[in-house]
Structure 1
Amino acid sequence: MDGLEKSLSLPRDPVRARAVRLRRTGTLSGLKWRENVLAYAFLGPSLLLFAIFFFYPMLKTVYLSLHTTDPTGRVAGYVGWDNFSYLFRNPQFLQGLKVTALFALLTVPTGIALALVLAALTNGKTRGIKLFQFAFSLPVVLSVGSASVIWMFLYHPTLGTLNYFLSLLHIAPVSWLVDPKWALVSVSIMTVWMNLGFQYIVLSSGLRGIPDEIYESARIDGAGPLRLFGRILLPLLSPTLFFLAVVSVIGSFQSFGQINILTRGGPMNSTNVLVYSIYQEAFVNFRFGSGSAQALVLFAIIFILTLVQFAWLEKKVHYQ
């Protein structure tokens, strides 16, 4: 028995066994502590950048929304909730809310539907299909400024290509960016085209992730193209569509570059979305208190819309 105990290194008394357990516990605690220190060391630079460029501006925005500023932009006094109450009594702000919501309705469903159709049409191994895939993905490489300048020339009332094609069809030219009836539609068309590349790439990736066996089984069962698309592809693509819906809604409420370049909020405030209104209020009129209040209202709207999408749309998502 003594030889067996020595070979197994068994403790001969409870005190020694307790000491071994304490030593092992201390070793595990030290190892866990070192892992936590190493993790925070790697996270440190990211947390510092978030603190400088996200948390501090967010707290500063809350602070400014409760104060008024002088013509030079410096804090003049505490006003509490007056900036927020002023906003909801301001017809221009309410008009901006309406324009922003209409802009989102014009761009989000149209863009996703168009990208879905193009992705379905080019989801194959037909010869020459790569050329179409490249063409439909091309807008993703353009910046907002470049895309806006391109469409500014297309919308030109006399030299623009769009009005030239309308003249070939004996249709009167359209004042795309000058007519209040067409300005928001024109910016929406440009935004749909600009976002098409990203949406097309995401949906094409989702379609390629569907196994070929599912297509073959559906065709064997006699499913036609429309039935295959509606009953099989759409449910399997629902996670991708849900992701695009959330991202596109957030992006539509944050659109600024194309508005600033093409219309500057006009004509007659017909394209004055919330982000451009915030820019005008804060960096043109130097009313940082009112601008910060608008920014917080916009943040609350986006946050609520995202929660609604997760609560309602996610129920219709079919995860594999």
Structure 2
Amino acid sequence: MTPGPRAVGKLSTLSGMRIRENVLAIGFLAPSLLLFGIFLFYPLIQSVYLSAHLTDPRGRIAAFVGLDNYVTLLSSEAFWNSLKVTGLFTLYTVPTGIVLGLIMAALTHTKLRFMRVFQFVFSLPLALSVSTTAVIWMMLFHPTLGMFNYFLQSAGLAPVQWLTDPANALLSISLMTVWMHSGFNFIVLLSGMQGISDDIYDSARIDGSGPIRTFVQIVTPLLSPTIFFLIIVSIINAFQSFGQMHILTKGGPAGATEVLVYSIYKEAFVNYQFGTGSAMALVLFVIILILTIVQFTVLEKKVHYQ
């Protein structure tokens, strides 16, 4: 049975509306797609291309080497050291930062007076850039003029070489990084707590649940989507950290703070080995991608969505 003229006209009208909507959508997306193409897709394609070549100090192609850059990279002690340092840095900063954010959010999630003042103070690190934070903590870590060693000496303890001792350098930078990210973690977790209904707290109080039990058994499971988001973002940020190492230690002493991104910077812009640097950047991309997929596969099962 063939459709009548009215049905054909209605179908053509709907088809025309869909085409106009698609064209309009593409028009709105075009500026974003253009920016993504220039600043994301083109550098990615260029990195893949450079990773298969040797380059001169100006970045011009000198020779095609295929996978040799990756073989050289995976057989390099410096690469594995930077990967180990990055893993330790992530282990030091991510759990500590999330726990600290939870504590600060729990302490200020009350209706007592002046809580707004404490919320403002706890969120202040978010307003500081990496370079500003690094300069502030460089003065705090100073071996003779720094406040940390001043307090230690006032207590009768020996001063600590915060940034020049290989045993302390990574821990010192991790401490600074935890403080630097504490404002973001605090705001995200406090927002998650404020999204929990007061009826839940009232019901727990009526059932005789104390503050600690309520927080551990009720609030934390309800915050699991927020914590899951923070874990993913924090791990990605940790693997991409660069500024604080560059300003405070230059990857030293003895490679103790040479994270993967700093190794990429040194290989490409200090040693002018853009091919190896591009290979390292792609390896870092694959590592972050795998970690993110594993987190979505494993951790998301434990997330409690309301």
Please classify the TM superposition score into its range, dividing by the shorter chain length.
over 0.9
Aligned equivalents of 2:122 and 2:264: distance in 1?
33
SS at match of 1:311: helix
Aligned equivalents of 2:183 and 2:167: distance in 1?
27
Aligned equivalents of 1:135 and 1:36: distance in 2?
47
Counterpart residue number, 2:123: 137
SS at match of 1:76: strand
2:40 matched to 1:54? yes
Q: Give unpaired runs (5+ residues) of structure 2.
A: none
Q: What's the CA shift for 1:263? A: 0.4
Q: What's the CA shift for 1:74? A: 1.3
Q: What's the CA shift for 1:229? A: 0.9
1:56-88 deviations in Å (ceiling 9; x for gaps): 000000000011112332110110110001111
Counterpart residue number, 2:179: 193
Counterpart residue number, 2:194: 208
Counterpart residue number, 1:20: 6
Q: What's the CA shift for 1:168? A: 1.2
Counterpart residue number, 2:108: 122
Letter in 2 for 1:29: S
User: Could you say which structure has the larger radius of gyration?
Assistant: 1
Letter in 2 for 1:238: S
Letter in 2 for 1:95: N
Counterpart residue number, 1:10: none
Aligned equivalents of 2:166 and 2:179: distance in 1?
21
Aligned equivalents of 2:33 and 2:238: distance in 1?
28
1:252-278 deviations in Å (ceiling 9; x for gaps): 000001010000100000000000000
SS at match of 2:54: strand
Counterpart residue number, 2:72: 86
Counterpart residue number, 1:301: 287
Counterpart residue number, 2:63: 77
TM-align CA RMSD: 1.0
Q: What's the CA shift for 1:128? A: 1.3
Counterpart residue number, 2:25: 39
Letter in 2 for 1:214: I
Letter in 2 for 1:285: N
Q: Give unpaired runs (5+ residues) of structure 1.
A: 1-13
2:213 pairs with 198, 205, 227, which one? 227
TM-score, normalised to structure 2, is: 0.99
TM-score, normalised to structure 1, is: 0.94
Aligned equivalents of 1:243 and 1:99: distance in 2?
24
